[in-house]
A and B are shown apart, each in its own frame.
Chain A
Amino acid sequence: MEKELLFDSATWLVWLAPLAGVLAAGLTRRRDPEVVGDKVLRHDKAAIIEHWTHGIGTAVLLVSGIALGVWFLPSLAGSGEPVWNWMDVHFVAVVVFLFGTFYYGANTLLAMKRFKEHLPTKDAIDYTKRHYGLLLGFKKFTFPPERKYFESEKMAYILALGATSVIILTGLLKVAAHAIDIPAGLMAIATPAHDIATVAMLAFFLAHVFFAAILPASWPVLISMFTGYVSLKHAKHEHRGWLAELGYEDEDAKSDEPAA
């Protein structure tokens, strides 16, 4: 007798995880960014938890999902017990991912400014051109007064938001199919949609890891994803617009103000 999949024996955890995330958000007291001496609080503890549960969940989901076969890629896991083991890994990652994502979502609902600061502004193209033009060595550009999140990051956020939403919606449908009869026509749409959103998520994930963890210029921010703080010096150079929003007055700041 082959072993039972966790998706069948522990389905209730898939439904519990997002609701637990929502409950946790309701019980969480957030701390807004602020300048503290020579450091700036960038991420409070809730943000760190949101990020790593969602992020590690995503990473393991991508690896296990690809092992199981996605879109036109065949299953790398073969057949039989290796497939079931990878499905169990996928299940554990689903639970972690759902908790983290819904924790983030509910926290965001409680403070919509946290959502708005992720959205691209009308400066998106201009700031991105200046920012990366300078990085690539074009000295004619000056570093723009980026806010907490770079405009390029905000544009990538839209991709992540869309991919995550489709993945969750179709994923929950696929989990529901283990317990109730979902019409085959709906499953014929849900599975390819899940796969396509996975590819989009993979593209975002690879870019995010490169720009946030591998690029040396991003290491101060990477550290802040553990400690919560970036140095004031780093924030003055990379996030002048954000410091202005926090009310920090820097005598060295250039005159151009971020657009409203």
Chain B
Amino acid sequence: MADIEKKEATGSGVSRREFITGVGGVGVGAVLGGALLKGILLPDEVYAIPASEGYLLVDTKKCATCASCMLACSTAHYGKASLSLSRIQVMNDPLGLYPNDVAQNQCRQCPYPACVDACPTGANHADPETGVRMVDEAKCIGCERCVQACPFTPSRMQWNHEDKHAQKCDLCKDTPYWNEEGGPEGKQICMQVCPHNAISFTKDVPVQTDAGYDVNLRKDDAWGQFGFSTEDDGMTLSGAQGATYGGH
């Protein structure tokens, strides 16, 4: 025997079936209408996020690949010294020749952050106050689109294999194991620990080339007094240096 419809008095004489059908019908119409509106009638969205208020600059001709920055980075963020968990990755080519044997792969806090754009959940985002590109770990779903999206090799986004979320340099804005204030207005631990002062910080947007982020940091300290080149190419010695040191 088929269902018998009951006309329950709901004030308007609408049966339960009519109510259910109405809810479903209106809902389907609303979703389809909204999809049509968004897809066809509304203009394309403009993607615009603020620039970061800080950038790390490095001098690979100063870097000794001691990895102090890497160990300090992981310690400040996770409480343990781990090269795998560092958000700055320093690479040394053992078969390479100076000055092209070292790479300090810091996040460039790109004006157009492809990693932020790629994130489907907003976990990787630009901090509203400082513009720092950083990951909200609770929102990360582990798709690693950000890691793939980074235009640089190696990717400046890393996969935290222990805690199962993406991570990146946040200019030490969130360092639970370091009691200094970080972020663009504070300190960056990699810069603090580097024994060669091979890492620097600027608030100005660097020129968007490799040379914009790999700069000469050898002019203002004792580097030249040790006989090392303070010129941009890292090879040329000044007349005085050449006389005392005898060249490379």
A8 touches B120 (CB 8 A): yes
Tally of chain B residues near chain A (CB < 8 A): 36
The answer to whether the Cβ of B21 comes within 8 Å of any Cβ in the partner chain is yes
Main secondary structure of the interface of B (DSSP, over half): helix
CB neighbours of A15 from chain B (8 A): 31
CB nearest to A72 among chain B residues: B164
B144 touches A79 (CB 8 A): yes
Known: A84-B143, A187-B139, A188-B138. A16 touches B24 (CB 8 A): no
Q: Mark A15-31, 1 if CB is under 8 A from B, else 0.
A: 11001111111110111
A23 touches B143 (CB 8 A): no
- The A-contacting residues of B in range 1-46, CB under 8 angstroms, are 1-3, 16-18, 20-25, 27-28, 31-32, 34-35
B20 touches A110 (CB 8 A): yes
| A20 CA / B21 CA spacing, docked (Å) | 10
CB neighbours of B35 from chain A (8 A): 12, 16
CB neighbours of B149 from chain A (8 A): 2
Known: A2-B118, A34-B1. A110 touches B17 (CB 8 A): yes
A26 touches B20 (CB 8 A): yes
A30 touches B120 (CB 8 A): no
CB neighbours of B17 from chain A (8 A): 26, 110
B3 touches A7 (CB 8 A): no
CB neighbours of B136 from chain A (8 A): 184
Main secondary structure of the interface of A (DSSP, over half): helix
Known: A5-B120, A32-B1, A69-B164. A23 touches B142 (CB 8 A): no
The answer to whether the Cβ of B121 comes within 8 Å of any Cβ in the partner chain is yes
CB nearest to A177 among chain B residues: B121
Known: A12-B35, A110-B20. A79 touches B2 (CB 8 A): no
Interface residues, chain B, with chain A CB atoms under 8 Å away: 1-3, 16-18, 20-25, 27-28, 31-32, 34-35, 118, 120-122, 136-139, 141-145, 147-149, 159, 164
Given contacts A2-B145, A16-B31, 4 further A-B contacts (CB under 8 A): A5-B143, A20-B28, A27-B21, A75-B164
Interface residues, chain A, with chain B CB atoms under 8 Å away: 2, 5, 7-8, 12, 15-16, 19-27, 29-32, 34, 68-69, 74-75, 79-80, 83-84, 87, 106, 109-111, 174, 177-178, 181-182, 184-185, 187-188, 191
